[in-house]
Structure 1
């Protein structure tokens, strides 16, 4: 990925956090954290990785709400970041947080079981 794509991604991450948190009033959208934005080298597509607080239903509802607001979000980004063409936005869940939590749980379970065998 180019340096420019990285810079655009970082700028978009900052702006998206503000737009989603303050500008969108869709009740389906829960507490969202934008964890990363990966922009293609040609600046055509931006994959926005999000983390949502809540259960699977809340996560799905949030994704639907964001999909509905995609046009508005893209136009807001276009006004805030000076680019010839605003990248197409794709929202995806950041699975790395869930993966990290799962590993942490497994480590705690292993530690608990090894403490019991030492007794």
Structure 2
């Protein structure tokens, strides 16, 4: 049975180790401004999925992905030196979709605001379909006496 607590703790350690190593710098000029967002370990602690984001253009993202792929062996060695496990986990770098998802949600919220303001403008100019006062009014007593 897998110990999920231990996997989470080891994932946090791996995240710290990789982030510190990237902060020191790699000798690869393709590496841009990379942020490690999350590390998820498998239950047997033999594989680590490392999620990252890159600040910059699409070309900088692609270059950083290639640099991380090229540095995977060196980063795995660094992780192996700094953790206390029998086996060093393999590393897989996965681009995190948080910025794209956030931009999509922001655009959806802007569209919803526009539609709400359009609906409010229509409601402000709307009129009732029937009489202005659709409720039955009590008759005056003077009208009753004449009949």
TM-score by length of 1: 0.90
Name the structure with the higher helix share. Answer: 1
If asked which structure has higher relative contact order (CA below 8 Å, sep 6+), I would say: 1
Runs of 4+ that moved beyond 2 A: 112-119
Which structure has the larger Rg over C-alpha atoms?
Answer: 2
Kindly report the root-mean-square deviation, in angstroms, between the aligned alpha carbons of the 2 structures: 1.5
Unaligned runs of 5+ in 2: 122-147
Q: Per-residue displacement from partner, 1:39-65 (whole Å, max 9, x unpaired)? A: 101111100000111122111110100
TM alignment of 1:4-83, pairs within 5 A: 4-83=6-85
User: Aligned equivalents of 2:83 and 2:42: distance in 1?
Assistant: 16
Could you say what secondary structure the match of 1:10 adopts? helix
Equivalent residue, structure 1, for 2:91: 89
Count of residues in correspondence between the two structures: 119
User: Aligned equivalents of 2:26 and 2:8: distance in 1?
Assistant: 25
User: Aligned equivalents of 2:103 and 2:17: distance in 1?
Assistant: 27
User: Aligned equivalents of 1:26 and 1:109: distance in 2?
Assistant: 41
Unaligned runs of 5+ in 1: none
User: Aligned equivalents of 1:28 and 1:105: distance in 2?
Assistant: 31
* Deviation, structure 1 residue 84: 1.4
